[in-house]
Amino acid sequence: MRVLITGSEGYLGQALIRKLATDAEVFGIDLRSAANPTASYHYQAMDIRDAKLNDYMQQHGITHVVHLASVLQASNDRQRDYDIDVNGTKNVLRACLHAGVKHLTVTSSGAAYGYHADNPEWLTETDPLRGNESFAYSCHKRLVEELLAEYRQHSPQLKQLILRPGTILGATTRNQITQLFQQKRLLAIKGSASPFVFIWDQDVIEIIRRGVSDSKTGIFNLAGDGAMPMAEIADELNKPLLQLPAWLLKLLLTMGHKLHLTNYSAEQLDFLRYRPVLDNRQLKQDFGYTPQLTTREVFAYYCERNH
């Protein structure tokens, strides 16, 4: 196998390189400088939107691609974020076909289902994707998956493995969710349990490794067993939980956004109120992998190493 990882210099990319390097020749592309230039992989600074990606894949005989690159935290330039997430993925797909790549793994997200009041209690892979327009990350993940579905129809020779993780946590995880946990008090919406599902980063890396090594196909939610409401998370962190009515929080977000005190707007209130809760039965039954840690065990592991 000759595996190309997009977004190779990120947190997951670096861990995955170490995992794959024993069984495959690994290549990485990213916009940032090489995180570990002495590692046993080939690195090229390259934008996933670069037209030269075609030639790069063909030149190195890439057989498998793991597409990790995406905008994790929205900027103030929605068009730029869309261009990277959606048009960048389109360029990766075209390059894969041009170079004769056999297998593509894409890290989507549970956010692709969207944050909606009428979401099922547990979301399965057959539930519709309704990523919210008001939340760029959620919206772009949905659009990327719609694009992937089109390619499955007209280019079935490119085998696809689509992974929809819940919140990924590990010993050194830093993201928008962990920023919430670092606050002096946790925020919740009165009347909303706001349950989270967590997946251990080592489980995610092992799932991707197996998916690549066995050229597995399909769509799978990634989550440890169970879910944790915000109240339980606050208890585990030993922090107070501030529960505000939805109307008040909406007002505060509106004012804070106008004054540039927060990146969150009132439209993103549902990010806290209607968390997508992922069913992992298909991962266990069809993919054949049971996460090593449950949602609560993942969170306990994270807390032990960060508090």
Whether residue 184 lies inside any domain: the answer is no
Q: Is residue 257 part of a domain?
A: no
- For residue 187, what pLDDT is reported? 83
Which pLDDT score, from 0 to 100, does residue 263 have? 64
Burial of 219 (0-12, 13-18, 19+ CB in 10 A): buried
CATH of the domain at 53: 3.40.50.720
pLDDT at 297: 98
DSSP assignments along 269-294, one per residue: GHHHHS---B--HHIIIII----SS-
The predicted pLDDT at position 266 comes to 67
For 84, how many CA atoms within 13 A lie in the half-sphere containing its CB?
20
Q: What is the pLDDT of residue 253?
A: 78
In a domain, 269, yes or no: no
Structure confidence at residue 91 (pLDDT): 98
Question: What pLDDT shows up at residue 183?
Answer: 86
CA–CA separation, 89 and 65 (whole Å):
12
pLDDT tens digits for the chain (307 residues)?
Answer: 999 999 999 999 999 999 999 999 999 999 988 888 777 899 999 999 999 999 999 999 999 999 999 998 878 899 999 999 999 999 999 999 999 999 999 999 999 999 999 999 999 999 999 999 989 999 999 999 999 999 999 999 999 999 999 999 999 888 888 888 888 988 889 989 899 999 999 999 999 999 999 999 999 999 999 999 999 999 999 999 988 898 888 888 788 777 776 666 667 788 888 999 999 999 999 999 999 999 999 999 999 998 7
Looking at the structure of the chain, the number of domains it has is 1
- pTM here is 0.94
Pair of tokens at residue 170: 């590990």
DSSP annotation of 5: E
Domain presence at residue 101: yes
Q: What is the rounded CA–CA span in Å between residue 53 and residue 60?
A: 11
In a domain, 131, yes or no: yes
For 115-126, b/e burial (b = at least 16 CB within 10 A) is beeebeebbebe
Residue 156 inside a domain? The answer is: yes
Instruction: Tell me the C-alpha distance between 215 and 236, whole Å.
Output: 39
Structural domain of residue 115, as residue ranges?
2-173+197-226+278-293
Measured in whole angstroms, the distance separating CA 114 from the mean position of its chain's CA atoms is 13
DSSP one-letter code for 112: G
Residue 91 maps to a domain: yes
Alpha helices in 68-123 (DSSP H): 78-82, 88-99
pLDDT of residue 278: 98
* 178 within some domain: no
The pLDDT, as a whole number, for residue 173 is: 87
Q: How many CB atoms are closer than 10 A to CB 179?
A: 10
